[in-house]
Amino acid sequence: MGWYKQHSSFSDPLDTPVVDRCINCGNHKEVKTTMTMEFGEGNYNTGPICKDCYSANRGPRIIQV
């Protein structure tokens, strides 16, 4: 084993994509992250959100200087 070869124990077998039901669209797709969304006034729902809904509904990035 040389310095240029990574040992087999360093590979992460959990890199498989997670497929779950999206809280926004309700379809079974690959999950991007877990979010808390507010549906109505004071009605919060926490769960996984798919990549499509996450990219479509994310807010503007706020840069603090």
Residues in the chain, how many? 65
Q: Which residue has the higher pLDDT, 9 or 26?
A: 26
pLDDT in tens, 32-57: 889 888 878 888 889 999 999 888 87
52 assigned to some structural domain: yes
1 assigned to some structural domain: no
64 assigned to some structural domain: no
47 assigned to some structural domain: yes
pLDDT over 90, % of the chain: 23
Range among 11-15, 36-40, 60-64 rated most confident: 36-40
What was the pLDDT predicted at 4? 66
pTM (two decimals): 0.60
How many helices (H) and strands (E) the chain has is answered by 1, 3
19 with 30: CB under 8 angstroms?
A: yes
What was the pLDDT predicted at 17? 81
